[in-house]
Amino acid sequence: MNRDTRRTRLLLALLLVTSIGLITLDYRAESDGQRSPLDGLRSFAAAVFGPVEQVAAAIAGPVGDAVHSVSELGDGRGELARLRREKEELTRQLRTSALDRNRAAELDALLRLTGAGRYRVVPAQVIAVGAAQTFSWTVTVDAGTRDGVQPDMTVLNGDGLVGRVKTAGPTTATVLLAIDPNSSVGVRLEGSMEVGFTTGQGLEDLLDLQLLDGQSTVVRGDRLVTFGSQGDTPYVPGVPVGEVRGVRGTPGSQTRTASISPYVDFSALDLVGVVVQPPRKDPRDAVLPPRPRTTPLPTVTVTETVRPGAEQ
């Protein structure tokens, strides 16, 4: 049992061959664009492990949030004034549950966005996240086919586009995030018909934009919404995606590329909505928040009038 015997090596070879066989089966179907013979195994696992993850997430959720907020505190060392303000804020928050307030705010933002775009969504909570080592950016949400969630539906939250449903189990669904390198989304520049597509870079705060027209003018601060896929799957139109952070490539080349800061904070995904019914009309730019107007700093002029006889 403990030693490296011939039987051990035989077992090793057997299991290695099994693994390679599984990979080959799955990979061949995937590259041929067919349903994998292992999809049944996958949905069985989703049906079995999904509910387990829901329970585990309910236990782990508050722990993770606490750790996350501690690691965020570390960002601003020595800012005594800020911490003091935060302390006051935290004591206030202690009265109501901070977690509930956070959820309420997220739900509020989601309602605002879906109302503006007339999307019908099923709200869902992120319960599990894929490891960075897998090179794929996916999360599991706690809504599945029983809630009306189907593969290739758009997923968003109060800030904007999150991704699309990759697979759906009975009570859970796996979402491919927009930042996954294999994820590409058709987008349109606000207020124009300039279209292009974003691709994930495997980073939490960056998307790459390719504009189809090499002549198009795009500048820092331009905002993007989804263009809408054919038949509204996988992406419905009008969902805010992000803002142009920088432009690369010279005008006149085949395509223009730009870096985009996504609106969604992919490192802290919690409440999302799965669009189960697309809007009847393209909401165009209506879902984007009103542009923060740059108000010029008011110039204060102080005039002092000296009244004769006022002094002393």
Partner 1 sequence: MTAAPSRLLLAAVLVASALAAQVTLLNRLSLPGATPDLVLLVVVALALALGPTFGLVTGFTAGLALDLVPPADHEIGRWALVLTVIGYLAGLAQAETRRSAFVPLAVVALAAAASVLLYAGLGALMADASVTWVAVSGLLPTAVAYDVVLSAFALPAVLAAVHRVGPESVA
Using CB under 8 A, list all residues that contact partner 1.
1-5, 7-8, 11-12, 15-16, 18-23, 25-27, 30, 38, 41-42, 45-46, 49-50, 52-53, 56-57, 59-61, 63-64, 67-68, 71, 126-136, 138-140, 166-167, 169, 172, 174-176, 180-182, 202, 204, 267-268
d(CA 154, CA 207): 17
Closer to partner 1 by CB, 22 or 105: give it: 22
Task: Give me the DSSP letters along 133-158.
Answer: GGS--EEEES--GGGT--TT-EEEET
Q: Is 232 left (phi over 0), alpha (psi -120 to 50) or beta?
A: left
Residue 200 pairs with which residues in a beta bridge?
207
Pick between residue 1 and residue 297 the one whose CB is nearest to partner 1.
1
Q: Which is nearer to partner 1, 170 or 289 (CB)?
A: 170
For partner 1, give the closer residue by CB, 49 or 289: 49
User: 160-163, long-range: CB within 8 Å, 24+ apart, which pairs?
Assistant: 160/113, 160/239, 160/240, 160/241, 160/242, 160/262, 160/263, 160/264, 161/185, 161/226, 161/235, 161/239, 161/240, 161/241, 161/262, 161/263, 161/264, 162/264, 162/266, 162/269, 162/272
Q: Which helix (H) or strand (E) holds 7?
A: helix 6-31
CB of 231 to partner 1, least distance (A): 23
Q: Which is nearer to partner 1, 77 or 307 (CB)?
A: 77
State in angstroms the smallest separation of the CB of 45 from partner 1.
4
Give least dist CB 71 to partner 1, A: 7
Question: Closer to partner 1 at the Cβ: 164 or 188?
Answer: 164
Minimum distance from residue 253 beta carbon to partner 1 (Å): 22
Task: Report which of 188, 205, 219 is spatially closest to residue 268, judged by C-alpha positions.
Answer: 205
- By C-beta, is 17 or 104 nearer to partner 1? 17
Token code pair at residue 273: 């909505």
The structure tokens 């393209």 sit at 282
On whether the CB atoms of residues 25 and 38 are closer than 8 A, the answer is: yes
Cβ at position 65, least distance to partner 1 in Å: 9
From the CB of 128, what's the least distance to partner 1, in Å?
A: 4
Compute the least distance from the CB of residue 237 to partner 1, in Å: 26
